[in-house]
Amino acid sequence: MTSTAQAPDVEHVVIIGSGPAGWTAAIYAARANLKPLVYEGRPKTNPSIVLPGGQLMLTTEVENYPGFPHGVTGPQMMADFKAQAERFGTRIVTGDIAKCDFSKRPFTLTDDEDKVIKTHAVIIATGATANWIGLKNEMRLAMAGGGVSACAVCDGALPVFRNQPLAVVGGGDTAMEEASYLTKFASTVYVIHRRNEFRASKVMQKRILDNPKAKVIWDSAVVDVLGGEKIEGVKLKNLKTQAESNLDVKGLFIAIGHTPATGFLKDTGVELDDKGYVKLVDGFRSATTVPGVFVGGDCADSIYRQAVSAAGMGCKAAIDAERWLAEQGIH
């Protein structure tokens, strides 16, 4: 293939999103001399909490990422990832990509300030946001590390939750998985559900209903989260009787699903599944249905949703993008 010189106004690769996938992709792309441009996103708190750096920005202690034997805070880890990417020459814009035109190459991106960017390749690493109840105190305590979380696997084993009463909100398979995991550490796990039966599969339901450490509170919703710096309990409302009551718990885990941040990809040719996650052409690679557009992290992963798996996907996306650009003769 004929070699194509890099036009001065066209990027080699633009990475949309930050977090473990985005920053890892940036580190690999920068070290490959692709001079990546990262759009890290903007802070948003309504209706969900969305911060540059992803969901780890809401995680006080990360104890399951290799290389940190004494743990590290989520925000510190993301600051270190970002600094490492910058060290190798990554350029960063605090903003969002609002629109993508992948119909011809180079691709055209438009950001939320109407700036147009041309690029040969794109890596999507926008993640997925946890669905929250939307209560003021829930958001406050989640952002302050006060015992409200959207990931039991990430946070449930922390010392602050051990041998304590904990609550899980939800009724699907994810809620059953989270509650089952928490029974390893908690004194009691209360599963709070709005209906009188779970939506989860029968197998997953049985795990909770047969577990002596799990107690189900049916037909109820959390209407407030109690506590100052740390959660001390939740206020419940019975949706049949309208009666309110307080439940003493030392941790609240929201398990009502996630929403991938892929709305800006509608009608771009990048195929999404029925839940909005980016489809992979090959499960072992990072290619999407548009050649030259790659993906990493939680926006393509509805199963694991871990920092280490997202970082691995970001690595693959950068390597795939580098090889694809070389195949196009772009240098």
Catalytic entry in 96, 100, 155, 299: 155
Catalytic entry in 96, 100, 154, 320: 154
- Annotated active-site residue 155? The verdict is yes
In the Cβ-directed half-sphere of 306, how many Cα atoms lie within 13 Å?
14
Nearest to 310 by CA among 295, 325, 290, 289: 295
Nearest to 121 by CA among 321, 328, 307, 296: 321
- Annotated active-site residue 151? The verdict is yes
Nearest to 170 by CA among 135, 140, 205: 205
Q: What is the number of other CB atoms lying within 10 angstroms of the CB of residue 156?
A: 23
- Annotated active-site residue 80? The verdict is no
The secondary structure of residue 156, as a DSSP letter, is T
Catalytic entry in 151, 298, 301, 320: 151
Q: Tell me how far apart the alpha carbons of residues 18 and 32 are, in angstroms, rounded to a whole number.
A: 19
Please answer whether residues 166 and 188 qualify as being in contact, where contact means their C-beta atoms are separated by less than 8 angstroms: yes
Which distant-in-sequence residues (6+ apart) come within 8 Å of 301 by Cβ?
277, 309, 310, 313
Which distant-in-sequence residues (6+ apart) come within 8 Å of 156 by Cβ?
149, 166, 178, 181, 182, 184, 185, 186, 251, 253
Nearest to 125 by CA among 27, 47, 208, 255: 27
Residues noted as catalytic: 151, 154-155
